[in-house]
Amino acid sequence: MNGSDRVVGVLGRGVVDADAPQVLADDLGLTRGDGCFDALRVVKGAGRVRLDHEDAHLARFARSAALLDMDPIDLPAWRALIDETVAAWPGTREGFCKVIWTRGPEYAPGDHVGLVLVGRTPPSGVPLRVATLTTGRPSDAFADAPWLLGGVKTLSYGVNVAAKREAARRGADDVLFVSADGYLLEGPTSALIVARDGVLSTTPVEGTGILSSVTAAVIAAQAAEHGLEFRHRLMIPEELHVADGAWLVSAIRGVCPIIEVDGAGINLHAQATETLTRWAGFAD
């Protein structure tokens, strides 16, 4: 994206030149991934702007900062910067709003650095061929190890993007992580939902270290309203091949049906995909 496609805001300064550098070369968020971020969907058009599930995303953002022992998130200041940055974005229809909180410079210590980036998104709801890749850790690796930062949306995403490169080498579109003891976890940037016999299931957060998904939580709440059971449980890869449908869901890409796992096709439940897409707020 060039400067005309995105807008950048800096906490304490407001909207700035999107093509100008905003952090120092020794910023710990840049050099060590020491910081956190979150991202939410922007829907703009007909004179209206909607920020999907802003409260939930900012609550997760504040929790990530707290677990990193960073300065507390000043929610009113962040909301004001988000509103200013989104208002300055010239795009229409759908975009993303990413909030970033870094530790700041290492060798000339100063304040944390807060950034808001708003830009356009790729198409949502794209069907996915996924490759299963091991994390090398058991499903309960994070239960007694808070220093592993399970459930924290840190800036350290090297493993996530490396996994996606490996998926591409295998001819797949995305990754589904599997624990060393054989349980399904999540995608690099998404949560897993599986449907079988009228029940929806997703991976539990406790012990697994996966991120608590705002989109999965929204779908779970909608399921409860419609009298549909939604479970948090450990699942094995073989379940995908007997499921009625499976999806990777996120705040930016929406509800993406999984159509293939490690080269083998799985069921595509078109009606359930339509329902989950509507429940997640991505339907027109």
Residue 53 falls inside a structural domain? yes
Range of the domain at 184: 128-279
Residue 212 falls inside a structural domain? yes
Q: Comparing C-alpha atoms, which of 264, 265, 283 is closest to residue 273? A: 283
**Domain identity same for 268 and 138:** yes
The answer for 42, left when phi > 0, alpha when psi is -120 to 50, beta otherwise, is beta
Cβ-based neighbours of 36, under 8 Å, separated by 6 or more: 61, 64, 65, 68, 70, 100, 101, 152, 153, 154, 155
DSSP state of 19: T
Residue 1 falls inside a structural domain? no
* Whether 284 contacts 45, CB under 8 Å: no
**Per-residue confidence of the chain (284 residues) as pLDDT tens digits?**
444 589 999 999 999 999 999 999 999 999 999 999 999 999 988 778 999 999 999 999 999 999 999 999 999 999 999 999 999 999 888 999 999 999 999 998 789 999 999 999 988 999 999 999 999 999 999 999 999 999 999 999 999 999 999 999 999 999 999 999 999 999 999 999 999 999 999 999 999 999 999 999 999 999 999 999 999 999 999 999 999 999 999 999 999 999 999 999 999 999 999 999 999 999 86
pLDDT at 4: 58
pLDDT digits (tens, 9 = 90+) for 192-250: 999 999 999 999 999 999 999 999 999 999 999 999 999 999 999 999 999 999 999 99
CATH number at residue 61: 3.30.470.10
The residue type at 117: L
C-alpha 272 chain-centroid distance = 21
Q: What are the DSSP E strand ranges found in 57-121? A: 93-102, 113-120
What's the CA angle centered on 95, arms 89 and 101, to 5 degrees?
80
* Whether 23 contacts 43, CB under 8 Å: no
**Domain identity same for 180 and 240:** yes
**Domain identity same for 185 and 109:** no
* Whether 37 contacts 114, CB under 8 Å: no
What distance in Å separates the CA atoms of residue 16 and residue 143, rounded to the nearest whole number? Answer: 42
What distance in Å separates the CA atoms of residue 272 and residue 278, rounded to the nearest whole number? Answer: 10
**Domain identity same for 233 and 147:** yes
Residue 284 falls inside a structural domain? no
Provide the β-strand partners of residue 105.
Answer: 27
**Domain identity same for 83 and 181:** no
Token pair in block for residue 189: 């940037």
**Domain identity same for 132 and 238:** yes
Residue 58 CA: distances (Å) to CA of 41, 53, 62, 86, 272: 12, 9, 6, 15, 29
Sheet of 14-16: strand order equals 14-16, 7-10, 113-120, 93-102, 35-45, 48-51
**Domain identity same for 62 and 184:** no
What distance in Å separates the CA atoms of residue 41 and residue 94, rounded to the nearest whole number? Answer: 7
**Domain identity same for 132 and 249:** yes
